[in-house]
Every structure is written in structure tokens, then in C-alpha cells.
Structure 1
Amino acid sequence: MSYLALHHGSYYFQIRVPAALVAQFGQIIRVNLQTADRGIARPIALRLASDWLARFSTAHETARIDLAGVSLIAEGGLESPPLEPLGVQQRLAPVAPSAGFVTPQIIRPLHAKSVSDDELFDTWKRIDRTREASTEREMQAAIRVFRQFTKVQAAELGRSDVAAFRDHLLDKKLARATVSKKIGFISTLLQVGFDAGLLSENVARGLKIPKAKVPTLVRRAFTVAELTRIFSSKVYSQGFRPIGGGGEACAWLPMIALATGARLEEIAQLRSSDIYVDSSNGPVMRITDEDPEQRVKNEGSRRTVPLHPDLIRGGLLDYVEAIGEAGSKWLFPALEPDHDGRRGGNWGKWFQRYLRTRSGLGISDPTVVFHSFRHTFKTLCRAAMIPEDVHDALTGHVSASISRQYGEMPLAPLVSAIAAVRLPVALPRVLS
């Protein structure tokens, strides 16, 4: 018999409790293994089975009961009581034994075991093999910082250890979002260990990060004066193409961002075929992850955006045609991907330096970054009285509204919306 049951795309470990122990443990021990990979789920289930059979045996010796009533639930079917689809938070919430679910203090190994950070990391990594390499590096960095603070092994950690680490990060004046992210990585790692039966509990779960007394800096839109400084700079007036600027990318990325509201990486990873003239709607830009080297932030990020007339007057279609004739796959072939494969990663660092330095644009306000073009575009959409669902479709913002999740946004309203946006500065003509 198997200890596994597949339900709603996720494997569960489950074992029926001996009748004489139901009052103590509930009718069924059931744990969501949070993976759809049987190869990952099976060894976790066997480890949990070993722990639970040992616990039943101990209870048997104590109460002198007969273990002949232990039965396992076969894979493929769910027996009464019915299995409810539970998330991690729900599964760990206390419930009555009569409901057939185990209380949180019960789903634990019999004894705390020594487990290394590497073992926890490898277990976390195996659960989702589609994670970005950058996410894995962030997890490793969080573990490294945590271990610089404490050498207490995972199985011996107390909640006070993680709380002290949180306070240490806050004392270093790190942003609350940064502290929350690092604590979140540690909590995720411990939760994986707990769910795999490697740890007796996740001592970091639910640890709060106090709100900052002073609000975090919020990015703002560009002013007209700042936009004028950008689009009259020597990049446009003198054909200046600095090292790190990615050739023609240093001219086109700001222009496209202002006139479409697209994210930096969305523009940087455009292929030469992603900008074309639609027979019904005119020039458009496709943002997609069809190519293995492209990525999108979320489902709503995949979209087609009509191009603003000012971009056409600026010479964008001429540039696209020239790049296509040169046989380049990428619209901006001079961009050098960073170590995570992001085509806009290194360029973004260059633009930040160019934005701040006196020899560049000399805009020192820390709330102004490349993403400010996106803020500016959203402001312009509101000024043009464009409905929120329309400019969300233009920028790839995902709404929480249920009604907005039905149907698709036609391209025609987007064309009209783009035409209604009035850019606060005239975009220059770029001669590539």
C-alpha cells in the first residue's frame, strides 16, 4: 500500500490512525507535501511514515494497545472523511480531532534530527525546478547572511533566534521590504524542512516585521523639466553612444518606456519581430515570453501594445526595419545580458549612473529611476481620462477584480487610448 494520494495536483502523505489512538491523534494523519512530482513526494512520505509508525509504536507500548488496526490509505482514492483542499496556513491551523485532521503539534517527527542548510536548500530546490536562477541565489544569500549572525543549527533553532536576526537586520537600517524578504526566505526554508519531516516545526512562521516610522521612499513620475533634460541630452542631440549604453538602446529604451509604460526588461528583450504593423490596428509591440530567453512578470504581462504616434515620428519603424535587414534576432543586439540572463540588467545599472552623475543627466532625487517612466505613463493615462481597465491592459497590470478576469481586452480600444495620451515633451527624431 502507498502512503501517497494525489489530490488537486498535489501529493499528500496520509496514514490511518489505529482505532485505539484516534482520541489522541484523530482519525487520519494527512500532510500536504506541496509537490506534484512523485519522485520528490515518495521519499518525503516514507520519512513521515517512519516517524508516525514509531510514534504509534511508542503510544502502543505506553497504552498497551494492539497495533493490528493500523491501515494505510491506498493511492488513487480518497476515503471518508473527505479530503478538503488545504493550503499551508489552513493545514497547520488547529482543528478538532473529530474532523479527521491532525493538530499542528502532532505533524512532527518523533525526535528533532540534525539537518544541514545544504540539505534544506536542496529539498527546497527540488520542489520547484522551474525557479529562476536569481531566486536560488537570493535564497543562498539569505542563508549566508543568517549564518553570519547565528550558528545554531536548523533543528535547534528557537523563534527567538529568528526574531533576533530580524532585529539585527532592522538595526542595520535595512529597508523593511528587504528585511521581510530575507526573513521570508528563512521561513520558507524551515517550512520545507518541516513539511519534509526533517524539522519538528517552522519557528519563523508568521514572524512580523514592524512597520517603519518613516514611510519607505516611493518612486514618482518624472517632471516635465526632467523629461526635457533627458530627451535633449547628448544621447539625442549629438548621437552620443556611451560604453554600457547598449548602442541604440540608450536612445530607444527611454522613449519606448515613456510612450508605452512598458517595464525595462520587457523592452530590452524585444525581438526585431515583436514590433510590426498590424493590418487592422497599425504599428504594435508584442510583449511575450515565447522565446526561451524572454520572460514576463505575470500572466497579465503578455500583451500587445499599440505604438504611440510620437514613436513612429521618432523613427522607430525605420530602426526596426534596419535591424531586421541586418538579420538580428534582438531589437537591441548590443545589450549584454547580466548573470541572470536579463537583457536589461546591465543597461539598467548604466542608466542609473547616467541619471545621477553630473556628466550625465544630473537628476539626484532617489525617488526617480527608470521605472519612473512607467509611473509617468500611468499619470498621463489618467490625465487623458482613459478607463482604468484599459490602461491596465496597456501596462500589463493585473487587477484583483473577478469581473476583470473574464474575457479579453480588444485591441481597438487600446489604439484609441494610446492616441489620446499626450506626451508632455516632444520626442526627438533618432537617426541610427
Structure 2
Amino acid sequence: MLKKIGKTYHFRRAVPRGLRDSLGQTEFSISLKTQNRRTARSRAVVIYAEIDRVLRSGDDVKHKVDALARRLREGAISGEDFKKGLLTEFDAADQESQEALLNYLNEITAASALHVNRDLAELASGWRFMLDWSRGQARTEANALERALRIVSQARPVVSEQPQDRVESLTLKEAIGAFYAGTEREYADKHSARHAQDVSFRLLSELLGNDRKIREVTGSISIDMIERLRGVPKYHGKNGKNWPLEDVIASYEGEGDYETISEKTVKNHVGCWSRLWNYHLKREAVDRNIWQGHDFDTKRTRLVVRDWSDENLDKLMGKKWTFRGISRSTFAHIVGIAAYSGMRLEEICRLRPTDIAEVDGVLCFRIREHTEPEPWSPKTEAGSRFVPVHPMLKRKDFHLLERIKNSAKGGHDYIFGDLKPDGPRSCRGYLFSREFSKFKTSAEIPRNTRFHSFRHSVSTRLQNANATIRPIWIDAIMGHETAVDGRKRSVGETNYTHQIGIKNLRVTIETVRYPAAFDICRLFGD
């Protein structure tokens, strides 16, 4: 439908076969007089609809003239009745249909398209009668396509003269296109404002979907979308890559804390969406503006991630993992390790069989930089560490040690071999993070409680354990920098056994406890 000729977009549409001879062309080709693709598409939609309407009106005229001519040819009506019938049809038709009637009469008189005798004086006189009568009554020199182009060029929507009970609902894509077409003059010299509008609409399309009917978007959906908007990373869309927004959020949520867009930015985006809805509210394409009346705390800059509360742990246990791309055992083991070690998601997903071994008689996870089978390093220098395996993870009915043993025996590179690098940053935990986010949402767990909240929960439980647990031991477990001589320094895995002692770390990790209802063996869902 669109073709770019030089720098300008043109509308193209094939002419129906039955009209090609009379029109003398095989396609409609109209300059849309713009270099902007979005504006061109919105104009093309209007022209397409206008052509359809004109062609339909032309077909109606042809059927009526055919019927009159057939009756004239059969002798059922006189030439005078034929002229009166034409006049009646002409008088009742709108301007486009009148022009179609005149053009068709001219065509059949010249070419005998209806097989009417060329010498039939009544038909010729009827044509001359109609042509003379129509002078001053209709602008025969301006055809429907030219009028359609003028309408679109002025960026005015085509409004039906017939009253309608309810305007047909538009998709979001159509609504945005119509908004751009209708406000082109308003934003002609406001390039920065238009750019901001583009960014906001792009986010709206990613969150809502281009094919969503705007009339069907309810107030509750708008509340949910604003909450999702608050989770958008601060630098989303600024690196030139076009990853889906939901995938980007899932990738960041899996790794941990990250800076989100400010509340002021959220408010500005919602303001843009509100203008879109107001535009279509005036045109009765929506019933109300769902983006009005929301509260924004512009002093808040980021989402505060919470620990796993007992209530949310119950919700987690009460929901069955159903995503087929990741097994239930992988789900159970990853969640269990996170809950009883405080390790980051990517650290867990990168575990190799050789990364679980005894150190001074204590079975430990070893988080460290490696180059095989693919290069990877912990998030920080302090991230290289030993984390003793919690007794809950050693339970026979949890099957984690069995999985590690089988992975080593089978020569697998990773313990969780069903996970592959994916997403914006090629994380092995990307797919799990994305699906876990959907999983917890379906379990009605709030957005500020996410997978990374297990790390917060472990840290909180360690700090609240008892006075004998020293802060440096907690930092060593969590992979945090610790204060040494008044300065932040990394503990480093080589100093564990010398400065801290692996047994002290075992004592530290064993203080992590959860309510009895949080039984990680139930995560298998059997």
C-alpha cells in the first residue's frame, strides 16, 4: 500500500479489473506529500477507506442504471420514464454517486457497455439531459480521489454525515496513527516534544500491544501498566538495541537491584498517554480517559525491593510451576539454592559440577571467574567466594546432590544444562528470570518481591540471627565488600580459610531458617 518514491511516500492500490478500461489505469497512485512513514501510513488508511466508499457507491449506481437500461431495452419503460428514473437516482445520490452516475452514462453511451443500441435516441437524449441538468449542481471536474487527498493533506479525519450510535473501536496502532495525523500541525515546530511523544508511545505499544483495542483498556489495566512502567530500567532504549521491554525488565530483575526510570519520568509518560486518550475521547473512540486521576510520588526514584514475607512464600508454595521450557526440578533447585545461599541468579545458573566441592571438610559452592566452557566472571571482585551448602539443600528428597553427581558423571558443562545464554546481555538465567516473573505475577505476589528478594531475605536473616555472627562473615557469604581499617575492601576467596575460616561460614549459613510451611521439596509440585 505504501511505496517510497525518492524521499516521498506514495499510496498505491490496484484498480479493480472491471474498472481498468473505463479509468484507463491499472492502479491508483497518489503522493502522500510526506517523508514521515508514520504520517504516510495514517494518511494511506484514510485514502484506502475513501476509495472503498467511492467504489461501493459506483457499484450501486451501475446496478441501478443497468436495471433501468435493461427495462428500456425490453420495452418495459419508455424513453421518458428512463430519463425520469435517471433523474430520480441522480437527485437521491450523494456527490460521489452523482459523479459516478454521470461518468457511467458517458461510458455506456460511448462504448455500449450495456449492449444498448448505439442508435437508441432515448439513451443519448437521457445522457444529454442529465449532463445539462447537472451543470451548476455538481462539481464533475473534482473526482473523489482528489477530494480524499485534500482531506488527508489537511490532516482532518473523515467524519460520516450519518449519525452513529458508537464509534468503532480502534487498535492502539490505529489510534496513534490517527493522533499523529490530527496533530501534525500542532507539533510541526516542536521537534523535542514530538520526540518525547514518540518515546512514550513506543513504551505504550511495548506494554500494551499494538493490536489492543483502546476501548477495551480498563482502569485496572492502566494501574497495572503504570506499575510495570515503574520497573523500566533507566537506560532502556538508549543503547541502540531493540529488545522487547518485558525481556529487558526480566533480565534486570533476575540479576538484582537496578536503577529504574524516575517517578517524574513515569508521570510524563502517563501524561502523553492521557493526551492520546483525550484526543480520541473527543471523537468518541473511547468512553473515558483511564490515565487521569493517578497519583505520582515524584520524590521516589526507584523501586524498593522487599524480602520474601511469610505471606508471599505461602503464595509461592501454593502455585505450581507449569512452564515447559524449564523443568520443575530446575525451578525447585534454583529457588532452593537462592533461598538458602543468597547467591545471585546468574551465579546459580553458571554453576558447573566442578564448582561444588569440599573445602576443609565443608561442602561449598565456589563462585569464581572462568573461561570454560564460556567466559564469565562474578559481578564484583568480592563476588568470587565460597558459600557452604546449607543442610536443607543436602536433603536426599531434594535431589540436588544427586543432580550434581549426575551432571559430573554425564560430562555436562553446567548443573543446569537446560538453560542457555539468551536475552539482551546473554545471561544463562535470562529465560528463568522472565518466566519466574510471570509465575510470581500469576501467584499475585507484588512487584517489589522478585527473585532477587531471596538474596535480601538471606541477608536479613543473617543480620538478625544472633550476636555471635560477625558482619565480616555475612559480607563473605553475600559477596559484599567489607570494611577493613575504615575502608571498603574485597574479602577475596583466597583469604577465606586464612582470615575467616570456612567453618565460621558454615555456622553463618546454617542460621538461615524459614517457616516450616516453606518446604523446598514441595517446589517439585509432585
What TM bracket, shorter-length normalisation?
Answer: 0.3 to 0.5
Structure index of larger Rg: 2
TM-score, normalising length: structure 1: 0.48
Report which of the two has the higher share of helix. 2
TM-score, normalising length: structure 2: 0.40
**Which structure has the higher relative contact order (CA within 8 Å, separation 6+)?**
1
